[in-house]
Structure 1
Amino acid sequence: MRLRRARTALCALAVTAALALTGHAAPAAAAPPPPAPDASLGAAFARAAAVHDVPRDLLVAVGYGETRLDGHAGLPSQDNGYGVMHLVSNSERRTLERAARLTGASVAELRRDTGANIDGAAAVLRALADEAGLDAADRDRVDAWYPVAARYGAPGSKTAGRLYADAVYDVLGEGVRARVAGGEQVTVAPREVRPRRGPYARTRPGASLGQAGDYPSALWNPAYSGNYAAGRGSAITTVVVHVTQGSYAGSISWFQNPDAQVSAHYVVRSSDGQITQSVRESDTAWHARSANPYSVGVEHEGYVSDPAWFTDAMYRSSAALTRHLTAKYGIPRDRAHIVGHNEVPGNDHTDPGPRWDWAYYMSLVRGDDGAGGTPFPTWGTDVSVRQQPSQDSARVATLPGPTSVRVACQVRGAPVEYDGYSNDAWSYLPDYGGYVSNLFIDVTDAWLPGVPTC
């Protein structure tokens, strides 16, 4: 992913807690209990990679591209995928069931147990590598796994497969430094990638509709014809904002699945704002029930629970699309006509959720983000947290953030104010047990001597 990260530094108060461990001595004759397995995510990736002879970094990159290494408590994605590695059970992708056959783990265990989920994905990737004819030497070369990654993520479509595998190799090229549940950091060092695309080499990631298309810069990856209705029963008066609950390529692939019975007109990628069109605006996509006849549906890659997916590139690209749509159809640029999926009558969805920054998004749609001040940035989950008052305490992580913002000592829970704009920055920080109580944001990586303390 082409993430242009500006680094920030934060100072924070820390609250430490002592954990008391109690237990009972085993009878003298009893055998000592076996050592507890290493429950860390990093260890699970290393173990699965070694057992199945899959490159560890590739395994992490696949998981990061799918879920940002978040298992979402075993809840399914839009296309019925589960866990950190997004093992899927639908008519087109059955990596969940295949993982169960290959590893002997139950489907229920693969859904909810992160270690089993990672092991199952590694087993599936290895089986796909064997089918692709990768020998032992190939398996040691991460660039040889491109067709395997494509088949793992989007087996039914070469265009979606290329989009999927390209995203995996973008992650490998950029590297990973992700903070996961429990505070552990999982990393992949950046590298030069030269993927061997094999049968995907001549596949375009999506045709352009060109100037005759609905949105000239969008790629065209059409949904299955049975997942939308031809024509319109009403004039277009509304734009509906969605979150995919899955990956960009996975969602495009799902719209192409005859069993999906869902679609959207557009899908926006998190990393760089790339847009794919799946249904023509003159046709009725099935995305928002009662609003389908009079709306255009715009999906955004990611998950409602994790605002790290809502990048500035995504906001700006989506806002440009919505600005285009409102101009084209004479739609007022207000919240009565640009709505969330959860705001459409008769819908039971929660997207885009409370962490979607409507104020910032609407300022971009209106085109007034440069008036009256600098637009406030959005925040990810890779946070730089330092314990106050020690100025040399270890950095826990880093946060992609603004390029020219300094905000001193804000109180937890209160809106962070900057130059006439505000943002609930706290909701974008990961949960480190609630110890981050105040923050100082600056544009540099290093601790700044003499900055205001919290």
Structure 2
Amino acid sequence: MTSSLPVRRARTALCAALVAAALTLTGQASPAAAAPAPDPAGTSLDRAFASAADAHDVPRDLLVAVGYGETRLDGHDGLPSQDNGYGVMHLVSNPQRHTLEQAARITGESVADLRRDTRANIHGGAAVLRALADEAGLDAADRDRPGAWYPVVARYGAPGTDAAARLYADAVYDLLGDGVRARAEDGEQVTVPPRRVRPERGEYADVSTGAGVSASADYPPALWNPAYSGNYTAGRSAAVTTVVVHVTQGSYAGSISWFQNPSAQVSAHYVVRSSDGQITQSVREGDTAWHARSANPHSVGVEHEGYVSDPAWFTDAMYRSSAALTRHLTDRYGIPRDRAHIVGHSEVPGNDHTDPGPHWDWAYYMSLVRGDGGGTGTPFPTWGTDVSVRQQPTTDSARVASLPGPTSVRVACQVRGGLVEYDGYSNDAWSYLPDYGGYVSNIFIDVDDAWLPGVPTC
């Protein structure tokens, strides 16, 4: 349905393992104020978040977590998401939601600036969150507690069904617990130290998102969260012969919520989450989702959380979970496991989308679908408990040396220079990741050179 850019696993591999630091997180508190214009003195993303949090009395780390969960802090050059959301904070303008226009009214910023100017967009997002907090009755003491913002976050991100809203808010609070380490386009690093926050779910406390209660009838590992009935066609006019791979151009819960929006006029059968591969079904396989125009009658559409312009979304958990779903579909409908029958949205005749884009690793994905262990890489092999690896002094070195030590090194194959995703963190260069206790937390490997005897290469 939409477009996205995944990370292509190449012959070179960027290998990373992060050791999470135990850090404390202080609460954010400041008096509410009329929103000033974003600070023109600097371009720092960190300053923009701090200024917006202070102006609207929104916890800074919560504000970052909302933005990171929506867009990985990427404004996508002012281009809209699938549900017409803009900027780092995904301010939306569609027939059912008008957070973009609401932000303009509160802040006095123009709609054009809110779409394209990152600092204005962050202030706009903070302003909308504060307005929702006021509607929910949060007083100054409540606003000092990040956990009290849970219902506000749920309404901000996914105002469709309560189940989608809880999925969205839970993801934000997971980010607060795990921490955020993101690199902006200009190289600035924005961080949220990890701290477990007890979410005060309020009206969402009894809303179930767990399998077993809301499990899909077609694919039991998936959740069931149905699309609006006017966004798909009941029944099929042709046999299922194709699986179409999409990328959402938006967040997981936001996409599920969009399919529930009567104005969307789009849907997909399944949506796959980036962080852990969780799958939600929105349309029954026996019905015709509106996702790929000419292919709709004979295909099942599988959406993947993320954006074409940001390869960080395409995690190994997502690849593996999606491949398991596609294996299920090929078994159920007798679909050949080849690229003639498992296709990208961009490959369907009569479509104008580019997803899943040039970074989607088709070789790796198809190896998982076939279950043959082939492809260009095998993610996360374990090197053993007596191997530790340290980088050489030059950061562009393609080799590292082995050192004795007790650490088990886990390796993820990535294209050199691409984003590394591990344990909730991302980084775009192997040499940026820190050294812990004398052992570097990343390794660069040339797959053609078995330079470490007995160690499997990527």
Q: TM-score range by the shorter chain?
A: 0.7 to 0.9
Structure 2: distance between partners of 1:212 and 1:164: 19
Task: Report what 1:12 is aligned to.
Answer: none
2:216–2:223: 8 Å Cα contact kept in structure 1? no
Alignment deviations for residues 262-296 of structure 1 (CA, whole Å, 9 cap, x no partner): 00000000000000000000000000000000000
Residue among 177, 187, 191 paired with 1:187: 191
> What is the one-letter code of the residue matched to 1:73?
D
Structure 2: distance between partners of 1:87 and 1:374: 38
State TM-score, norm by structure 2: 0.78
> What is the one-letter code of the residue matched to 2:50?
A
> What is the one-letter code of the residue matched to 1:215?
Y
Q: Report the aligned-residue RMSD.
A: 3.4
> What is the one-letter code of the residue matched to 1:375?
T
How has the CA–CA distance of structure 1 residues 152 and 329 changed in structure 2, closer, same or farther, with 3 Å as cutoff?
same
Instruction: Check if 1:388 corresponds to 2:394.
Output: yes
Q: Offset of 1:424 from its aligned partner?
A: 4.0
Structure 1: distance between partners of 2:215 and 2:89: 38
Task: Report what 1:136 is aligned to.
Answer: 140
Q: Offset of 1:63 from its aligned partner?
A: 0.1
How has the CA–CA distance of structure 1 residues 155 and 367 changed in structure 2, closer, same or farther, with 3 Å as cutoff?
same
Task: Report what 2:334 is aligned to.
Answer: 330
How has the CA–CA distance of structure 1 residues 372 and 171 changed in structure 2, closer, same or farther, with 3 Å as cutoff?
closer
Structure 1: distance between partners of 2:444 and 2:57: 51
Q: Which runs of 5+ in 2 are unaligned?
A: 1-14, 20-38, 382-389, 398-407, 422-428, 447-458
Residue among 374, 378, 391 paired with 1:375: 378
Task: Report what 2:295 is aligned to.
Answer: 291
Instruction: Check if 1:241 corresponds to 2:251.
Output: no
> What is the one-letter code of the residue matched to 1:367?
G
Select the structure of larger CA radius of gyration: 1
Q: Offset of 1:307 from its aligned partner?
A: 1.2
Mean Cα deviation higher: 200-209 or 165-174: 200-209
Instruction: Check if 1:200 corresponds to 2:204.
Output: yes
Structure 1: distance between partners of 2:116 and 2:264: 24
Structure 1: distance between partners of 2:220 and 2:17: 34
> What is the one-letter code of the residue matched to 1:95?
T
Structure 1: distance between partners of 2:376 and 2:297: 38
Q: Mapping of 1:212-251 within 5 angstroms? A: 213-251=217-255
Structure 2: distance between partners of 1:439 and 1:213: 43
Residue among 151, 170, 173 paired with 1:169: 173
Structure 2: distance between partners of 1:100 and 1:192: 33
Q: Offset of 1:345 from its aligned partner?
A: 0.5
Task: Report what 2:74 is aligned to.
Answer: 70
Structure 1: distance between partners of 2:84 and 2:16: 35
Alignment deviations for residues 165-224 of structure 1 (CA, whole Å, 9 cap, x no partner): 001100001000111111100000101121000111111126658888110111110000
Q: Offset of 1:332 from its aligned partner?
A: 0.5
State TM-score, norm by structure 1: 0.78
Q: Which runs of 5+ in 1 are unaligned?
A: 10-34, 379-383, 392-401, 407-417, 431-437
Residue among 352, 376, 393 paired with 2:356: 352
Structure 2: distance between partners of 1:403 and 1:266: 34
- SS of 2:186's partner is helix
Instruction: Check if 1:44 corresponds to 2:54.
Output: no
Structure 2: distance between partners of 1:453 and 1:174: 28
How has the CA–CA distance of structure 1 residues 192 and 140 changed in structure 2, closer, same or farther, with 3 Å as cutoff?
same
The percent of aligned pairs where both chains have the same amino acid is: 72
Q: Offset of 1:322 from its aligned partner?
A: 0.2
How has the CA–CA distance of structure 1 residues 216 and 302 changed in structure 2, closer, same or farther, with 3 Å as cutoff?
same
Structure 2: distance between partners of 1:182 and 1:129: 32
Count of paired positions: 388
> What is the one-letter code of the residue matched to 1:296?
V
Q: Mapping of 1:98-109 within 5 angstroms? A: 98-109=102-113
1:242–1:340: 8 Å Cα contact kept in structure 2? yes
Instruction: Check if 1:83 corresponds to 2:87.
Output: yes
Q: Offset of 1:240 from its aligned partner?
A: 0.2
Alignment deviations for residues 241-271 of structure 1 (CA, whole Å, 9 cap, x no partner): 0000000000000000001000000000000
How has the CA–CA distance of structure 1 residues 377 and 404 changed in structure 2, closer, same or farther, with 3 Å as cutoff?
closer
- SS of 1:243's partner is coil
Structure 1: distance between partners of 2:409 and 2:109: 47
How has the CA–CA distance of structure 1 residues 102 and 442 changed in structure 2, closer, same or farther, with 3 Å as cutoff?
closer
> What is the one-letter code of the residue matched to 2:262?
P
Mean Cα deviation higher: 238-247 or 153-162: 153-162
